[in-house]
Amino acid sequence: MCGIIGVSNHKEAAKITSLGLYALQHRGEESAGIACYDGQDIQTLQARGLVSDVFDLDHVDTLVGQTAIGHCRYSTTGSSNAKNIQPFMVRHKNKPIAIAHNGDLTNTEELHFKLEEEGSIFQTTMDSEIIVHLLARNRNGDLKKNFVEVLSQLKGAFSLVFLIEDMLVAARDKKGIRPLCLGKINGGYIVTSETCALDLTCAEFIREIDPGEILFIKGDQIESVFIPGAKEEKHAHCVFENIYFARPDSNIFHDNVYQVRKRLGAQLAKESFVQADCVLPVPDSGNYAAVGFAQETGLPLELGIIRNHYVGRSFIQPSQQLRDFRVRIKLNPVEHVLRDKKVVIVDDSIVRGTTSRNRVEVFRQAGAKEIHMRISCPPIAWPCFYGIDFPSKQELIASNKTVQEIADYIKVDSLAYLSLEGMLSVMKEKYSFCHACFTGTYPVDIPKNKSKCLLEGK
């Protein structure tokens, strides 16, 4: 999972790109970068760390040009290291090309092997670099035809932005797994993962980029083409974007994330009501489902768990040790709210179980009389191969424990998940979502080698 953005035909393209990355920070905290075309070459600014660590106004001012792309990374294929920072830039036939990618390819190993056998030399261990090599080998003088031919070879999830001199190219896979939208800003155009980046940059939302669509943007001109078969393809939007990953103020997949999460919470209450003194959300991703749960049940909503906002998202930390540490310092209960109370704790998901177990222990120490956990999605029992780091069934607690066993492990008085049918019932396009992490039914063939480090010999 990553955040991507591209800006075209704007005199301060790099600054707009950096602002957009601030809005997309929740999509990746490992590294950030910008590539900007200055009229002769592509200049880059990138490093490991948060957007605020990588960019300041003085640094961004050095990137001059009217077209730029940006990226914030949460690694899924390829380790978290300096060589895998995006945008990734190469030079071919004396022309610079930069790419930023959100998603995960499922035929990475096959394409990588084929390209190496044909003489390609790789600089990174990301699947994203494969796309650039395919483009370089496929240069036939017709840019649009070239992109169609290359992207037709890719399997899996991809939302992409490219910088080819002063042209911005944006593309989305045929299933539409990851979000991507188009906006307009001061005579220029902006492409980004979520609409919250449009809001921050004062851009006007135009529309979502269609699954399988490729946009070629140069100056104030846009041309659209489609990957063959895209318009007939059944869509498979990632439902976990709505449950957890996207910002609640974003509109994705033709719906508002805040409203979706409220509806999930209300449906959860219908399915698993329990008598209690109050409802407490686990901030921040459980907030909106808790509002829906409380409104549906009539139970008072209490903000009894306080988040330290100077700590990042625990789920997207690269190691379990870091996740455990983040949990302890990120959330702190208000003892006055929990003491001697029967509480319903509403959270968006349980992945490995260790985070929930640690939280419940803290809530017990704060004096909660009963703790009933309610989860606004079904049990996550299957790994994701499309851009979310659920790498193995062994790490997913619901793949080898029943709901009661999970309840016993995290030490709650009761545990209930939202049903699959209930979850899909509140979606505007309920038949257009990927729910493989709950069901094991994958919309795109999964890779033979499932390792995050499959290109690193590990």
Which residues does the annotation mark as catalytic?
Answer: 2
Other residues' Cβ atoms within 10 Å of the Cβ of residue 433: 22
Cβ atoms of residues 171 and 146 within 8 Å: no
Helix, coil or strand: residue 184: strand
Handedness of CA 176, 179, 184, 186 (dihedral sign): negative
The Cβ of residue 307 has, within 10 Å, a number of other Cβ atoms equal to: 14
Please state the separation of Cα 413 from the chain's center in Å: 32
**Residue 151: in which H helix or E strand, if any?**
helix 143-151
Number of other residues whose CB lies within 10 A of the CB of residue 201: 23
Give me the helix-helix angle, 128-137 and 143-151, nearest 10°: 130
Going edge to edge, which strands form the sheet with 278-281? 278-281, 342-347, 370-375, 414-417
The residue behind tokens 């049918």 is 421
3-state SS, residue 278: strand
CA triple 454-457-458, angle to 5 deg: 80
Give the position of tokens 């957890």.
Answer: 244
Give the tokens for residue 305: 């768990």
